């Protein structure tokens, strides 16, 4: 009976694996070469399964054991990365780069949906103007309190306007505006596109022959990139006005002194660099939010997670981009404060 079982087992084993199975299932064949360690562990498991008893106490059939052994070895010899899936953050990062490239290409080709772009401009620009101006005014007043108190002790009140103008123009206005826009507009973009993705509306657009990148993403990116510089300029103007008002009414520092100091400290390049930063920040907010929206999975819960993640990633990217751009724009020793002191 044992000879018959061995014959059946060898008949079921594929030709390329017969040597391995004979060595580890039959003591008589142990003179064969030793297999690799990985397959050795697999075959030992197969041998244990072959010796297992069924529920009625009878040994398992040789045909079933041979089939199980062959399947185990075949599964063990599959490619290492066969079941590997890339992390979701890596997938979304690649999607962000691809979408950004597609938007640039379509803009250069003139494939712009004008009506959607105007609608998004209205939502991004006038829709965000009030909260941006309110925030900029209070940021300007807070920095006025800190600067005037410390500079007055040093007798440098004539430099307050220059310091405020440089701080607001180079860093505070573009960064604060971008942070507000990321929370208000970026979250809206991610939620809208995420809802459309999970409800298969984007698939419907493809069926109708409309490219979602042309119809949904490019107008939003262009609206953010165009509206951000104007919002930043308005925030800078309102922040300076609030600073002048507070310094003149509370700390008795003349408005003429502050404005004259600011005019001497500011250079045309300060305004140009602010516009470049605002343009880049607008592109980061819109592309990241749209990419996170179109890669949403999992229904309503996935939409919420994508919205939160889009805002967080946008803020992190804004601060990283701000450091890189500041490093490129303002290297070396500056003389702006020296000019502000007159």
User: What is the mean predicted confidence (pLDDT) over 186-190?
Assistant: 93
pLDDT confidence bin for 141, thresholds 50/70/90: very high
State mean pLDDT over 149-178: 86
Listed by start position, the domains of the chain span 2-76, 88-340
pLDDT-based confidence at residue 266 (cuts at 50, 70, 90): confident
pLDDT at position 66, please? Answer: 52
Q: Which residue has the tokens 């101006």?
A: 133
State residue 284's pLDDT score: 95
Q: For the chain, what's the residue count? A: 342
Given this model, what pLDDT does residue 64 score? 53
pTM: 0.73
Tell me the β-bridge partners of 53: 59
Is the model's pLDDT at 208 over the cut of 80? yes
pLDDT digits (tens, 9 = 90+) for 36-56: 555 555 555 555 554 554 444
Give the H/E segment covering residue 172: none
Q: Is the pLDDT of residue 118 over 70?
A: yes
Is residue 81 helix, strand or coil?
Answer: coil
Q: Is the Cβ–Cβ distance between 175 and 130 less than 8 Å?
A: no
Confidence of residue 239 (pLDDT cuts 50, 70, 90): very high
Residue pair 97/46 in contact by the 8 Å Cβ criterion: no
Q: What is the dihedral of CA 235, 240, 244, 245, to 10 degrees?
A: 0
Q: From residue 249, how far is each of 115, 141, 244, 246 by CA, in Å?
A: 46, 12, 8, 5
């Amino acid at each position: 009976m044992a000879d018959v079982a061995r014959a059946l087992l060898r008949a079921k084993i594929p030709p390329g694996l017969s040597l391995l199975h004979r060595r580890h299932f039959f003591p008589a064949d142990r003179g064969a070469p030793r297999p690799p360690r990985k397959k050795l562990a697999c075959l030992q498991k197969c041998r244990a399964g072959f010796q297992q008893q069924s529920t009625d106490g009878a040994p398992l059939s040789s045909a079933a054991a041979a089939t199980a052994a062959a399947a185990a070895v075949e599964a063990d010899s599959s490619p290492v990365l066969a079941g590997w899936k890339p992390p979701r953050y890596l997938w979304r990062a690649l999607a962000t780069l691809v979408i950004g490239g597609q938007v640039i290409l379509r803009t250069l080709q003139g494939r712009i949906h004008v009506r959607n772009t105007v609608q998004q401009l209205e939502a991004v620009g006038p829709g965000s103007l009030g909260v941006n101006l309110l925030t900029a005014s209070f940021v300007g007043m807070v920095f006025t309190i800190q600067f005037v108190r410390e500079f007055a002790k040093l007798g440098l009140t004539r430099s307050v306007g220059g310091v405020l103008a440089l701080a607001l123009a180079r860093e505070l206005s573009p960064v604060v505006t971008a942070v507000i826009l990321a929370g208000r507009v970026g979250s809206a973009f991610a939620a809208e596109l995420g809802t459309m993705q999970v409800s298969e509306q984007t698939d419907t657009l493809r069926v109708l022959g409309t490219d979602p990148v042309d119809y949904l993403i490019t107008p939003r990116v262009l609206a953010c990139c165009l509206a951000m510089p104007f919002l930043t300029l308005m925030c800078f103007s309102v922040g300076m006005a609030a600073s002048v008002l507070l310094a003149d009414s509370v700390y008795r520092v003349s408005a003429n002194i502050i404005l004259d100091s600011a005019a001497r400290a500011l250079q045309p390049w300060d305004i140009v660099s602010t516009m470049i930063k605002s343009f880049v920040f607008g592109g980061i907010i819109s592309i990241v939010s749209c990419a996170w929206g179109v890669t949403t999975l999992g229904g309503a819960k996935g939409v919420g997670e994508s919205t939160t993640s889009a805002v967080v990633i946008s803020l992190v990217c804004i601060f990283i981009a701000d450091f890189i751009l500041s490093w490129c724009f303002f290297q070396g020793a500056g003389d702006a404060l020296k000019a502000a002191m007159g």
